[in-house]
Structure 1
Amino acid sequence: MSTVKTVAFVEPSFYGVSFAKVAYEQGHRVISIVSSEDNPKKYGYEGIYHDLIVADIRDEDSLFQAIAESPYAGKLDALIPATDYASHLTAKVAERLGLRSVPYEAALKSRNKDLARQAYAEHGVPSAEFRNVKTFEEAAAAAEEIGYPVVLKPTNCASSQNVYFINDEAELRRAMDVIVAFKVTYMDFKVREEYLIEQYLQGPEFSVELFLRNGEPLFAAVTEKLTTPLPYFVETLHTLPSPSHTDRQEEIIRTAVDALKAIGLTNGPSHVEVKLTPSGPRIIEVNGRPGGDHISSDLLVLAFGVDIFEATVNYYLGHPVAIGKKHIRAATIAYVTAERDGVLERIEGFELLPQHPSVIRAHILAVPGDNVVQAKSSDDRLAYFIVASDTPQEAKRLALSLLDGLKVVYRNQEAEIA
């Protein structure tokens, strides 16, 4: 019997590129289901697939029909969501094809933050007090009930897009004007016209990287996160494993597992964001997929020798899943952000990073002449670098020290006009 399987990925992008890469390197036949033939170039997975199927990935029937009319009808061994936005649709299509998948309802709840919050409340999982709102009037009433400061966010977006820290009604009115005008997110997925007003949770932030089998963790690790100063929530530093609050790690993991069970995610990979508040761990959000931001593709590999993408491909194929830690080290990814709006000239000192013995990779996302802004979402970050070390404390210290040595230099626009 051939060990080469046919594995289809729905729109590999961001974290999903690592999925395609792993399956390709395992020797499987990799099919990418995409909304445009330009996407492999756009998202960086040229050369790591064998065939493309074009479909409207925002529509379940279009996805199903595109597969049914392709040479792979009845021949797929796995159908894997490789972008957050299509995860619930992929689950539905996989169910129709009789392939292993995340339950549709669970995928839907992990995509829609309000449905997830309702599930946590029903199952007694500690999260944030919240209200669903559509208008400024509803938002103002909800904020009064919950008590300022509050957080305003879309129900079905990612990357901290239009997530606001709100101190008072005037700020709420301005933010609602922006969020109501925000109609389309990545890959032309529609932004739901329902929003969340949430209690602002105080405390340090973590994510839990998990792989569950029948509701029990085969693998669990806690990542410490640092974010930009309020009013925004852009992640600027991830350290794995966490260098802080290690005595609370089991409690943080248990809360994350309870949240996953509450929404029905009991098998496969997940990335759960948690705040350690004075009253204990509370859930920010759950993602039924490996962590992005190079947490899964780089930090887990560097820290523990764990490839969660390989484990996930094997899980979807029904193969044995091996996901034990091969070694114990530590890694940090640091992101460079602009402290003000302007035109980028250069990031001074960045060119020296690759020569540092602990720097694994340094990559610039913005180029000279780009208009840059104070970071409001993950899309606004300018560059990143990854360091590895023997301990998480050392990895974090080194990353912060190197970050401190960088300077964002802005182009003198008056001189440019002259």
Structure 2
Amino acid sequence: MSIKTVAFVEPSFYGVSFARIAYEQGHKVISIVSSTDNPQKYGYEGIYHDLIIADIRDEESLYQAIQASPYAGQLDALIPATDYASHLTARVAERLGLQGIPYEAALKARNKDLARQAYAEHGVPSAKFKKVKTYEEALAASISIGFPVVLKPTNAASSQNVYFIHDEADLKAAFEVIVEFKVTYMDFKVRDEYLIEEYLEGPEFSVELFLSDGIPLFHTVTEKLTSPLPYFVELVHTLPAPSYREHQDDLIRTAAGALHAIGIVDGPSHVEVKLTANGPRIIEVNGRPGGDHISSDLLLQAFGVDIFEATVNYYLNRPIHIERKHERAAAIAYVTADREGVFESIDGFAALQAHPHIVRTHLISQPGQAVGIAKSSDDRLGYFILTADTAQEAKQLALELLGKLQVVYRQQEAGIA
């Protein structure tokens, strides 16, 4: 295999797996970053060859930084390694004549209102929605759609400022908060337009797909368990989904239809779907491998499938082979606080490492950190990943072990209020 020069825009979270795979394949890995501190911050020191500094929030800055670098005209692939820069990366890749998801498709995937419009235009089952800017518009939209509804930003992620709205009082309180949400991860600006959406009742799934000319080369369904309302924090992922097996073909068809609607017909995707009484309904589409360790761990543990390797090959316009090497199941479970307090530890967490089904544990929060009820993915305290022979066993074991863990809060010191 010939060595290629592969550039990644701001590897972080799921995107670190991209850099690792390309590095292990022997390619020259270039990271385009907003700060030289980011390899250490996001955990990919030692798996890249060079850095290019750019404002990753600006298309022209990305383009000019590449053109001014030693790699001008030398890149074989330019890959978005963070959601927020995916559309900008797509635009720059087009300007450089490199393969990738079309800019318009990436833009729709990043902006939930544009995606909802595309679903409606193509007859993809989705949620009723209205885009709003003011509280008055939000109230009118909520009354039109009918309470309960969901209020969310149009271009954020990780359940940041996503609210279940039961009535007008809920809406007023949530809207006062969401309009102050100006900047999200990596200093990307949050649009001052919001969505009021129909609340979809039913179990939640994600469909992991890899398309080639619109046809799935690979597909599987992940079952999600989320936190109690009014929040939507993902707490357990089980792959493959143990429940509602008779509906999985419908879930996959609906997910593929949503991708076609926004213009994604090649490469990896992670599509979130709810199974309502009226069938599958799209929550959102992501034109990249699933995060939350679904792609980096669960797919590998359950099937031996490396979506990141296939994705690097897609961006390099190389043949793609995705083969299931085995058939078992995997799950990840997240620990969250049950109240506000100062975090001390998770009782029983360290002992998990000795469990025969546990693959890995990771503590996110540190002693002394203020914690509270999880409102977004950022508020989770730690996780563990496990495997089992069947999906039902994986899910049951994840819930059983999660139920035995106890968050320990630091006691107030005597004399301190």
Q: TM-score, normalised by structure 1?
A: 0.99
Q: Does 1:287 align with 2:286?
A: yes
TM-fit CA distance, 1:343? 0.2
Give deviations 1:188-242, integer Å, cap 9, x for gaps: 0000000000000000000000000011100000000000000000000000000
TM-fit CA distance, 1:416? 7.5
Q: Does 1:75 align with 2:74?
A: yes
Query: 2:98 aligns to what?
Result: 99
Query: 1:277 aligns to what?
Result: 276
Query: 1:172 aligns to what?
Result: 171
TM-fit CA distance, 1:414? 4.6
Gaps of 5+ in 1: none
Q: Does 1:133 align with 2:132?
A: yes
> Any idea what SS the aligned residue of 2:273 has?
strand
Q: For residues 10 and 65 of structure 1, what CA distance do their matches in structure 2 show?
A: 14
TM-fit CA distance, 1:101? 1.2
TM-fit CA distance, 1:367? 1.1
TM-fit CA distance, 1:136? 0.4
Query: 1:407 aligns to what?
Result: 406
Query: 1:57 aligns to what?
Result: 56
> Any idea what SS the aligned residue of 1:319 has?
coil
- Residue type at the aligned position of 2:56: I
- Residue type at the aligned position of 2:101: V
- How many corresponding residue pairs? 417
Which structure 2 residues correspond to residues 348-363 of structure 1 after superposition, within 5 A?
348-363=347-362
TM-fit CA distance, 1:10? 0.3
Query: 2:7 aligns to what?
Result: 8
TM-fit CA distance, 1:313? 0.2
Which structure 2 residues correspond to residues 225-304 of structure 1 after superposition, within 5 A?
225-304=224-303
Q: For residues 253 and 5 of structure 1, what CA distance do their matches in structure 2 show?
A: 34
- Residue type at the aligned position of 1:262: A
Query: 2:314 aligns to what?
Result: 315
> Any idea what SS the aligned residue of 2:414 has?
helix
Deviates more, 1:408-417 or 1:271-280: 408-417
Q: For residues 145 and 14 of structure 1, what CA distance do their matches in structure 2 show?
A: 38
> Any idea what SS the aligned residue of 1:413 has?
coil
Query: 2:341 aligns to what?
Result: 342
Q: For residues 254 and 18 of structure 1, what CA distance do their matches in structure 2 show?
A: 28
TM-fit CA distance, 1:325? 1.1
- Residue type at the aligned position of 1:400: L
Gaps of 5+ in 2: none
Query: 1:196 aligns to what?
Result: 195
Taking a change above 3 Å as real, the CA distance of residues 416 and 304 of structure 1, as seen in their structure-2 partners, is farther
Query: 1:328 aligns to what?
Result: 327
TM-fit CA distance, 1:69? 0.3
The percentage of aligned residue pairs carrying the same residue is: 75
> Any idea what SS the aligned residue of 2:44 has?
coil
Segments of 4+ in structure 1 off by > 6 A?
A: none
Taking a change above 3 Å as real, the CA distance of residues 95 and 416 of structure 1, as seen in their structure-2 partners, is farther
Give deviations 1:39-73, integer Å, cap 9, x for gaps: 11111111110000000000000000000000000
Query: 2:32 aligns to what?
Result: 33
> Any idea what SS the aligned residue of 1:96 has?
helix
> Any idea what SS the aligned residue of 2:373 has?
coil
